[in-house]
Chains A and B, each alone.
Chain A
Amino acid sequence: MRVHVGIDLGSTTTKAVVLGEDGTVLGRGITNSRSNYKVACDVALAEGLIHARFGLVARALADAGGTEEPRAEALAALERLFRKHQYLGHLAVFERIGTRIVGSDLLARDLAGPFTAIVAAMSAEAADLFAPGAARKSDFFRDLAGARYVQHAEEASRARGAAFDRLLGIFDKTILEVENVPAEDGAFASHARAARRELTDAPASLDAALENAVDVPLEIAGSVGTGYGRQTLPFPKEQIRSEILCHGLGAHAMFPATRTVLDIGGQDTKAIQIDGDGIVTSFQMNDRCAAGCGRYLGYIADEMNLGLHELGPMACGSTRPVRINSTCTVFAGAELRERLSLGEKREDILAGLHRAIILRAMSLLARSGGVASEFTFTGGVAKNPAAVGALAGLVRENYGAMTMNISPDSIYTGAYGAALFARRDGRASA
């Protein structure tokens, strides 16, 4: 079947969205961006196409009828098991590459035993990681495997005297290569069938749907690239669109009444005004200085030894937010330490930092023409509850009450818009 693909090559993550011919989203893929943009693009697209086959299974099940609840449960279980097998597949690649790296370094050969033991332990606990009801920590193999590897490496260094930092060095070298290996052709078939075999209770129509999704060839009828690294995508110029346009159209498709879009990404912030058709009428973005973008929060998280996803919830616990004026990432560490030394609470400092970056976004919004209802917030920072809270408050104060939309898939907005452009282009030239 023919599909349309949009790829958003961001500074932090690369996203792919796969659309069916009717314009519905079949699949999404995401990976860390890296120095090799082509690889990031391949990896995200491969994941998007795999996920698209899931989309086909879901659609076939829906077409087959039956009650909604067991169908949804079966799909969720299938996906959970699928992700386990995908994880194990990645782990096998990790072991192969890591073993080679350990073996090729004369000074690291003593780590061969501990390394193999760590991977074996990781493999053994995979079932727990993807058990029903287990918290979904991250979609990135790097994050999932990294957390487990660190824990096992600590134990190994205590029990067997293997140097912890050297073991971590092996992880760092290995994971870089692993991330550059796109999913193989047929990965969906093998992982999906393995998952199906473990599934005990499934609707009768699942097998046919699954086999159909395995067999159907996915033909990419058109693709459009966007994002910070779009110029490096292996696409001709007419298949490259500015992320301003893509975010505008993507936000319009998700929430058709959208008039103002704010996107806070890794290293830029965009305020976009669109009309009733999703066409951009005006925009502003940060200049050469990217202070107050997503990367700032990443830096703060590192400074505080927290995960990025922990910042927002912690800031939400603030009772007396600290006033912070600078959003300069270079000064952030110093300001943070100074505040801590003054005895301010982490929660209050974090709340102040979130407010500071949102104030910067408010200035861009004002310069782009203000905020009109409905207002849609996109980009990685839209996942942060403290940022959302500060934004909602400031928008209400400055522009009055209005509907603010945030999609759980907001990080894919640009890629979604790009895929919609690909579909339009395909229809225009057909």
Chain B
Amino acid sequence: MATERPEGRATPARKDDSQVRQKRMMAEHYARLARSAETGEKNVYTFVPGNLTELLRSFDLLPVLPEINALQSAMRGKSREYIAVAEKLGHSEDVCTYVKCDLGMMKSGNVGPTGEFIPDPSLLLLSYTGCFTFMKWFEILRQEYDCPIAMLHVPYQADGAITSAMRDYVVGQLRDEVIPVLERVSGRRYDEDRLRAMLRQSARAEDDLVFVLESARHRPSPIDAYFGGVYYIGPIFTAFRGTEEAVGYYRALREEIEERLAKGLGPVTPEGEMRTEKFRVVVEGPPNWTSFHTFWKMFADEGAVAVASTYTKVGGVYDTGFRHDPDRPLETLAEYCLGCYTNLSLPSRVDLISRYVRDYDADGLLVHSIKSCNSFSAGQLMILREVEERTGRPGGFIESDLVDPRYFSAANIKNRLESYFQMIEQRRAGSGA
């Protein structure tokens, strides 16, 4: 979900066409938001997991995603001061740092990642999965902005499956609550044909994204599915799902990866192209954004590639077969929301991760646990033990935070990572190491 070059580093060494394209898309989007006072375009603040981008876009509404703004602020080195602003307002140290970073940005003039002003919301659409804090976040925003608010409640997949009752419940809310509000805010009528056309484009982009993610099954993997992965999911997780730009981006990305595959190349890292793939890991948990490149380099220096990650599934799990279906527009949106990684039960997560370890022939599961995110971190040790048990591959555990730089202890994390990789090496070599 990252578009900026973190920490101001001139990396990756070579700019791929897809990266240039993504950067341009993001810049245009923020510029369009900044101009909206003149153009009269309306926007909707909403969240990544369970977002309704096609529906919003079918009303010509522009999505604004506070988590993305927060992580972008962190990559630009602004999160420390934004968090300080939020703490001054009375939010404690343990509160989700995405929330604090976003509030701090808002209180500091609401200047977005491209340096342009982000307009006040025309609507707060609380469509979220798996994280209760999202609701509290919008409660705070509601006090700040005098604007309409809509909520989509997505039931948790506690029993590991989507039932028809769950789907109908979400569809009912879309039809009876969300769409009427969108009509009111946008001044347009619901246009199902337009929505279908967008969903068709979503599915095309999703096909290409899945191809890219699954390319990591090859040895060497042509991609890093965690650090590189957050770039790959950028357009589809944010404001572009269902757009022509997204279709074009994922087609271009796929062609690049096909070329890397054909040439047998490894992934591009902050230190240039990885020559030797020594370790293949599956990573659970979001990355650290304040020291993103330092963190990535710790992997790259050890020859470690993430071949699959769960974080790249928080805005949609596509590699188990789900595609947006234009023939069932509201049902498919409901299934999408219900199916996001953050909405999966712990046993379902264990199943998914164990499958990744096996299918991608990984050396093991590495958990990056987030200090200020209880909804992601709860149960991670259980997941780790269970995946170890099922796959027979060793797990590793590191801790830092999303966007609070105070939680990133580089020496400690490096120590644990090195220990984990050496442990894998030692176990490979067996007792005769």
What number of A-B contacts does a CB cutoff of 8 Å give? 53
Of B188-196, B200-208, B234-242, B417-425, the one contacting chain A is: B417-425
What is the CB-to-nearest-CB distance from B395 to chain A, in angstroms, rounded to a whole number? 7
Check if B433 sits within 8 Å of A367, measured CB to CB: no
Chain A hits for B430, CB < 8 A: 277, 279
Check if A288 sits within 8 Å of B412, measured CB to CB: yes
What is the CB-to-nearest-CB distance from A400 to chain B, in angstroms, rounded to a whole number? 20
Contact A245/B381 with A285-B416, A288-B407, A288-B409 known, Cβ cut-off 8 Å: no
Contact A283/B399 with A277-B430, A277-B431 known, Cβ cut-off 8 Å: no
**Is B258 interfacial (CB-CB < 8 Å)?**
no
Chain B hits for A241, CB < 8 A: 422
Residues facing A in B377-431 (CB within 8 A) are: 381, 385, 388, 394-395, 397, 399, 407, 409, 412, 415-416, 418-419, 422-423, 426-427, 430-431
Bound-state CA distance A97–B49 (Å) is: 68
Instruction: Flag A272-289 by CB within 8 Å of B: 1 or 0 each.
Output: 000001111111111110
Check if A245 sits within 8 Å of B422, measured CB to CB: yes
Chain B, interface size: which category?
Answer: 20 to 34
Chain B hits for A280, CB < 8 A: 419, 423, 426-427
Check if B394 sits within 8 Å of A424, measured CB to CB: no
Residues facing A in B353-396 (CB within 8 A) are: 381, 385, 388, 394-395
Contact A284/B423 with A367-B381, A369-B385 known, Cβ cut-off 8 Å: no
Bound-state CA distance A244–B417 (Å) is: 11
Chain A hits for B412, CB < 8 A: 285-288
Contact A245/B423 with A277-B430, A281-B394, A424-B433 known, Cβ cut-off 8 Å: yes
Q: Among the interface residues B388, B399, B407, B422, which one has the most CB atoms of the partner chain A within 10 A?
A: B422
Check if B394 sits within 8 Å of A287, measured CB to CB: no
Bound-state CA distance A228–B430 (Å) is: 26
What secondary structure prevails in chain B residues at the interface with A? helix
Check if A244 sits within 8 Å of B423, measured CB to CB: yes
Instruction: Flag B115-159 by CB within 8 Å of A: 1 or 0 each.
Output: 000000000000000000000000000000000000000000000
Chain A hits for B433, CB < 8 A: 279, 424
Chain B hits for A282, CB < 8 A: 388, 394-395
Bound-state CA distance A287–B409 (Å) is: 8
Chain B hits for A242, CB < 8 A: 415, 418-419, 422-423
Chain B hits for A424, CB < 8 A: 432-433
Q: Among the interface residues A242, A244, A285, which one has the most CB atoms of the partner chain B within 10 A?
A: A242
Chain B hits for A286, CB < 8 A: 412
Chain A hits for B416, CB < 8 A: 285
Chain A hits for B422, CB < 8 A: 241-242, 244-245
Chain B hits for A243, CB < 8 A: 415, 419
Residue of B nearest to A285 (CB): B416
Check if A279 sits within 8 Å of B409, measured CB to CB: no
Residues facing A in B87-105 (CB within 8 A) are: none
Residue of A nearest to B409 (CB): A288
Q: Among the interface residues B397, B418, B419, B431, which one has the most CB atoms of the partner chain A within 10 A?
A: B419
What is the CB-to-nearest-CB distance from B333 to chain A, in angstroms, rounded to a whole number? 40
What is the CB-to-nearest-CB distance from B131 to chain A, in angstroms, rounded to a whole number? 23
What is the CB-to-nearest-CB distance from B320 to chain A, in angstroms, rounded to a whole number? 29
Chain A hits for B419, CB < 8 A: 242-245, 280, 283
Residues facing B in A201-242 (CB within 8 A) are: 228, 241-242
Residue of A nearest to B431 (CB): A277
Residues facing A in B167-213 (CB within 8 A) are: none
Chain A hits for B399, CB < 8 A: 287
Bound-state CA distance A34–B399 (Å) is: 28
Bound-state CA distance A62–B432 (Å) is: 31
Bound-state CA distance A245–B399 (Å) is: 20
28 contacts between A and B (CB under 8 A): A228-B415, A242-B415, A242-B423, A243-B415, A243-B419, A244-B419, A244-B422, A244-B423, A245-B422, A245-B426, A277-B430, A277-B431, A279-B426, A279-B427, A279-B433, A280-B423, A280-B427, A281-B394, A281-B423, A281-B427, A282-B388, A283-B419, A285-B416, A286-B412, A288-B409, A367-B381, A424-B432, A424-B433
**Residues in chain A within 8 A of chain B (CB atoms):** 228, 241-245, 277-288, 367, 369, 424
Q: Which 5 A-B pairs have the closest CB atoms?
A: A288-B409, A277-B431, A242-B419, A244-B419, A280-B423
